[in-house]
Chains A and B, each alone.
Chain A
Amino acid sequence: MSESAPRRPLPRINKLNAPYWAATKRHELHIQRCDACGHRWFPPASRCPQCLSTDYEWAPASGRGKVWSWIIMWQRYFPAFEDRIPYNVAYVELEEGPRLMTNIVDCDEVDLRCDLPVEVVFEDVTGEITLPMFRPVRD
C-alpha cells in the first residue's frame, strides 16, 4: 500500500481487547470464557454477561462456524474500501455461539449463503493488527 492510499479504519487496541489482537497476530482466534460458568462471549466485555463474574480467560475458539448473514456493500462509505466495491460483509456465528463481524474470502459471491460452513484465516494488515477472516470449509 502506498503512503497516500487511504487507510482502512482499524480497531483500537485497549486493555480489554489486547489479548484478542495478540492472539490474532499469532494467527489464533481467542474469545473470552467465564471461569465461573463457562459462558463464551464476544465482543469483549470485562465481565461475563451471563453470571456477571469478572473471572475469565481468553481461550482458543475452534475457528469454525457458519455464515449467519451477509451483505454486499455497494455504497462508498470508506475511502479505503473504494477499490473493493462491491465487497461482502458477513456475520459468522462461531461454534462456541458468539457472532463476529468479518469478510468471507476465497469464495465467489454466487457461493455465499446463510449457514455456509466457514473457518478462520488471518490477514496481517499492519504490524500490530491481524484481522480474522473466514473462508468456506473445503472437504
Chain B
Amino acid sequence: MKSSLKDRTAIVGVGNTPFGALYRNLDPERSPYDLGAEAFVEALADSGLKKSDIDGVLVCRVPDYGRMCEVLGIRYPRFVNLMQAGGRMASITVQYAALAIEAGMADVVACIYGNVGRSAGARYGGGEGGGGNETGMNDGAYGMTSPGASVAHMFRRHQHLYGTPVEALGHLAINNRKNAALNPNAVMQAPITMEDYLNSRFIAEPLRLLDYCLINDGGVCIIVTSAERARDLKKPPVYIHSMSMAGDFDHQYTVDDCFYDCLQMVSKDLFAGSEIGIGDIDVAEIYDNFTPTLLFSLEGLGFVPRGESGAWVTPERIALDGELPLNTSGGHTSESYMQGWGLIAEAVRQVRGESGDRQVADARNALYACAAPISSALLLRR
C-alpha cells in the first residue's frame, strides 16, 4: 500500500444483529435487507452520524444494493455497489470504501452485510460439487465438494510436509469457544475440551465438525470516513493504518502452498513504510471458515516461520492475555459465521476498549486478515 494512504481513513461506526438469538430461531422469511438495516441502524448510532451523512453504500451478501438503499431511504448515494457474496470480501469491501473516500468519491461509506444462510439452508456443498463451472469437469463425479474439503486437502498436505498435529486445530477451536463464552452474543458458549474436539465427527477427514464455521443469519455494518472527519465524531477514530490484498488463483480453492506466497505479499504491503511491525499487533482477528486457515495465516503473514504453526499454537500463546490474542469474540467456529464481518467489528471494538469481559488489555493495534483466493488484511489502530 502506498504510504500516502496510511491513517487517512477510519472506521467510525460498527453495528451488528444478535447472532445467538438468530441461530436459535430460524425464520425462512427472514430478509437479508432487514438484517443489514438492523446492523446499519446500530452502526449509525455508534458513529453519531446522521443518515443524511451517508453518501456511499457497499453491500455484501445482501443480494441487491438498490433494494438495500430503498429499504434505508438512501436515494442518491454518490458511491454504491455490490461486492461478491464471498467471505473473502469482508475487508476488501472496507478497503474499497477507504479508497473511494480517499479519492473523493464519497465522504462516508456504509459497508453493509446481511446473510440469511442458516434460515435458507445454505450448505456450501453438494449440487454439482466444486469445479462444476464452465469447464464442465465436475468434481462431484468423484464425490468432491465444499470449501471445507478443499481446506482439508491443504491441511493434509501441510501435515505431510511439516508434521502438523491435529491438536493444533483443537487448540484453535477450544480457544474460539473459550472466548465465545465471554461474548454474550456468541452462538456457542459451552466450553469444549481437547477430548471433545478429537471425538467430534469427521466431515472431510482430517477436518472435524468442530473445525467448521457456524453458518448463521445475521447482519454487520461498518461505517468508514476520512480521518479528518472521524476526529469530530462520537467515538475515538479507529484508523485504517494500512490495508492490502493479493489474489491466488489456481485449482479453485486448493492452492499448493496453503496461500503462503499470497499472504507474504499481503503482509509485505501491509507493513511497508509503517512504524508498526508484526510484533506490535496486540490482537488478531483472523478468518477461520475452517480452523486450518488460521495456521496458514499465521505462517503466511509472518507471525510464525513457515511450517511451524502447528507447534507454535498453544493455549497460552493465543489466549486473551497471551502473546497473540486470537479471535477474541469466538471466531467463526463459535461466535457466528459472518464471513469475516463480525471479526472486523470485533477488531474495532478491541481497539476502542469496548469488548467487555473479553477485552485484551491496552489493545492499540488490531489485525484483521483472511487467507483465501483473495487474501487480505487490515491494520487498525487507535
Contacts and interface: CB of A to CB of B under 8 A. Distances in A.
Contacts of A9: 127-129, 132, 138, 140-141
Given A9-B132, A73-B149, A17 B201 contact: no
Contacts of A84: 143
B135 interface: yes
Size band of the interface chain B makes with A? 35 or more
Contacts of A89: 139, 142-144, 149, 153
B5 interface: no
B142 A131 contact: yes
A14 B136 contact: yes
A128 to B, nearest CB: 12
Main secondary structure of the interface of A (DSSP, over half): loop
Interface string A1-35: 00000001111111011000000000000000000
Interface residues of A, number: 38
B153 A71 contact: yes
B254 A91 contact: yes
A72 B149 CA distance: 9
Nearest to A75: B203
Contacts of A114: 156-157, 160-161
A69 B142 contact: no
Contact of B126 (A72, A74, A78): A78
Given A73-B149, A77-B123, 11 more contacts: A11-B137, A71-B156, A74-B202, A74-B203, A77-B125, A77-B129, A77-B146, A78-B129, A101-B131, A103-B143, A131-B141
Contact of A113 (B128, B140, B160): B160
12 contacts: A10-B138, A13-B136, A17-B135, A43-B135, A70-B156, A71-B153, A74-B205, A77-B123, A77-B126, A84-B143, A89-B139, A103-B142
